[in-house]
């Protein structure tokens, strides 16, 4: 029976449902909102749950990956498993109309299946490096936002992204990143983080969480308890954050506390070991001490907790895929993201419920949270999205202007010896490295002549992206310096490579290699943009000891 029809039929049970339904620990989410303005999200969740059988409830705990590019390719998955949500990846997406129709079709399948509960359709659209959509406005990475120091820019990124996702029928974004990046060798966070200052990261993450929710999209704050101090990628291994509880509370906890205080809809757990917080030897995703103990009890968080993807190696070190699903729920998770074998995971959870390892009360607690979130985001009353309206929304001039403004305010000038910058009309420049064509084309538009070699130029501009870890990029910069022509580096990822390039006359950081960031860099090179950004991280080993907050 469809969700909306069922709500009407079940309205008579409203008086039987207690207000502010409590969880196992007696705590409940605050009332507010409701379906059609007639009921609180909590009461809506109770009415929906009253009509669900055990398997339909178990299904709400899972968020598998969408199959193919059409709704029909997901028909069996939805009818058999009744998932609480689905997640999109680039292979599922082609253009605006197709994405909108896919979302509509998936929701129709969910409405006609089992209990008829709508789906949370999610995507990793952090912007910058992690942006799964092939359409829409492209913003710079989070570290660029941190360089602006502006919560207005943070909110503009999230609000604009939410507008575009909602127009496509996407109702959950696995963003923002609340990790404090303090390890220059971090292979997986880096510019996805707002910076290395916990207070700055917290302000930006909270601002984005609020803006996503105001735009009708559920944000997922990640990766609790923090993934910023690792040199291992949890996609391919199990990282260890080996710090004391005191250090963690001072450095990694504040952004998550601010996000919780801001009422963030969901929090994602990390596949990291934290021996200073939990001696179980389990990654945080499987740790009751961290999820139920710290996040739930100490921080008082009662929203949805989702795991990071369960197909990642970081969580598959010591247990089978079915046991991982059960242990994540025992730890306190509500949704299990991307299990590598959905049948194995669902069977294991079903067996755990039948055997009493997971109590009916524990199952209902998580289902209630998921259903409440769906009510809070208006999913039960949602109409199909309009593909034509989506075409007008995505990439609108207003949205593109917001991305340009952010990119320009983020550009940070960290070195400018002998007045090398700005370049002037009539100067000749040799542009090489990352983004050379885009940057060079924009310089040409400003009247800067292109030179084929460094020897023929007044200035050499070398584009880099994490050159600190790339021998070929470092050699390119070294060759430019050895030409004797003044060299300006445009760093389009983390700024840590500054310490490697003592011999360059100029150094600009954009913290992103998206188009608007490269255009902003070119405009800063010519003086059209005042590079007003400030370092959101410290640069260890740099000749001038560049610290957080510096910039010329």
Active-site amino acid positions: 308
The radius of gyration computed from the CA coordinates of the chain, to the nearest angstrom, equals: 25
Q: What angle do CA 498, 502, 504 make, to 5 degrees?
A: 90
* Max CA separation in the chain (angstroms): 83
What three-state secondary structure class fits 336?
strand
- Give the span between the Cα atoms of 454 and 457, in whole angstroms: 5
Place of tokens 């001696």: 279
Q: What is 382-434 written as a DSSP string? A: PPPP-HHHHHHHTT-HHHHHHHHHHHHHH-EEEEEGGG--S--TT-EEEEEET
CB atoms within 10 A of CB 419: 9
* Helix 321-331 and helix 342-354, axial crossing angle in degrees, nearest 10: 50
| Cα torsion angle, 470, 471, 474, 480, sign | negative
- Give the span between the Cα atoms of 418 and 425, in whole angstroms: 18
Distance of CA 314 to the CA centre of its chain: 18
What three-state secondary structure class fits 80?
helix
DSSP state of 273: B
Q: What angle do CA 385, 131, 194 make, to 5 degrees?
A: 120
- Cβ distance 264 to 303 under 8 Å? yes
- Give the span between the Cα atoms of 438 and 434, in whole angstroms: 9
- Give the span between the Cα atoms of 18 and 487, in whole angstroms: 69
- Cβ distance 497 to 546 under 8 Å? no
- Give the span between the Cα atoms of 455 and 428, in whole angstroms: 11
- Give the span between the Cα atoms of 511 and 490, in whole angstroms: 10
């Amino acid at each position: 029976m469809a969700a909306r029809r069922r709500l009407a039929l079940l309205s008579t049970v409203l008086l039987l449902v207690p207000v502010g339904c409590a969880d196992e620990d007696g705590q409940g989410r605050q009332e507010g909102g409701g379906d059609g303005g007639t009921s609180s999200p909590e009461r809506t969740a109770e009415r929906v749950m009253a009509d669900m059988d055990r398997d339909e409830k178990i299904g709400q705990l899972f968020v598998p990956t969408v199959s193919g590019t059409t709704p029909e390719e997901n028909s069996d998955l939805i009818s058999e498993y009744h998932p609480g949500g689905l997640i999109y990846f680039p292979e599922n997406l082609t253009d605006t109309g197709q994405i909108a129709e896919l979302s509509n079709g998936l929701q129709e399948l969910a409405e006609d299946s089992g209990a008829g509960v709508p789906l949370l359709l999610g995507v990793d659209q952090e912007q910058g490096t992690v942006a799964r959509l092939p359409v829409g406005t492209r913003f710079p990475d989070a570290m660029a936002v941190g360089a602006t120091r502006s919560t207005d820019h943070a909110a503009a990124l999230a609000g604009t992204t939410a507008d575009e996702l909602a127009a496509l029928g996407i109702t959950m974004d696995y963003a923002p990143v609340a990790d404090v990046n303090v390890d220059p060798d971090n292979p997986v966070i880096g510019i996805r983080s707002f910076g290395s200052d916990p207070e700055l990261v917290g302000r930006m993450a909270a601002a984005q969480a609020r803006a996503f929710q105001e735009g009708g999209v559920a944000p997922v704050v990640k990766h609790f308890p923090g993934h910023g101090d690792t040199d291992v990628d949890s996609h391919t291994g199990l990282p260890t954050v080996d710090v004391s509880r005191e250090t963690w509370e001072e450095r990694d906890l504040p952004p998550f506390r601010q996000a919780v205080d801001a009422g963030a809809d969901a929090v994602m757990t990390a596949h990291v070991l934290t021996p200073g917080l939990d001696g179980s030897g389990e990654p945080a995703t499987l740790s009751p001490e961290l999820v139920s103990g710290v996040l739930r009890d100490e921080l008082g968080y009662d929203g949805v907790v989702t795991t990071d993807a369960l197909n990642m190696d970081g969580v598959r070190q010591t247990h089978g895929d079915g046991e991982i699903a059960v242990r994540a729920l025992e730890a306190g998770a509500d949704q299990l993201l991307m299990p590598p074998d959905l049948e194995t995971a669902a069977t294991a959870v079903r067996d755990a419920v039948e055997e009493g390892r997971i109590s009916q009360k524990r199952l209902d607690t998580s289902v209630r949270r998921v259903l409440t979130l769906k009510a809070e985001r208006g999913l039960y009353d949602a109409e199909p999205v309009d593909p034509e309206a989506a075409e007008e929304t995505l990439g609108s001039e207003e949205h593109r202007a917001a991305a340009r403004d952010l990119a320009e305010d983020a550009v940070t000038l960290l070195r400018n010896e002998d007045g090398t910058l700005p370049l002037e009309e009539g100067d000749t420049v040799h542009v090489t490295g990352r983004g050379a064509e885009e940057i060079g084309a924009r310089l040409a538009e400003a009247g800067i002549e292109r030179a084929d070699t460094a020897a023929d130029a007044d200035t050499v501009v070398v584009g880099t992206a994490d050159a600190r870890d790339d021998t070929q990029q470092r050699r390119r910069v070294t060759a430019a310096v050895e030409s004797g022509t003044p060299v300006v580096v445009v760093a389009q990822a983390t700024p840590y490579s500054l310490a490697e390039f003592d011999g360059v006359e100029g150094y600009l950081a954009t913290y992103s290699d998206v188009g608007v960031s490269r255009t902003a860099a070119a405009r800063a090179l010519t003086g059209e943009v005042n590079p007003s950004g400030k370092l959101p991280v410290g640069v260890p080993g740099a000749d001038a000891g560049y610290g957080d907050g510096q910039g010329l």
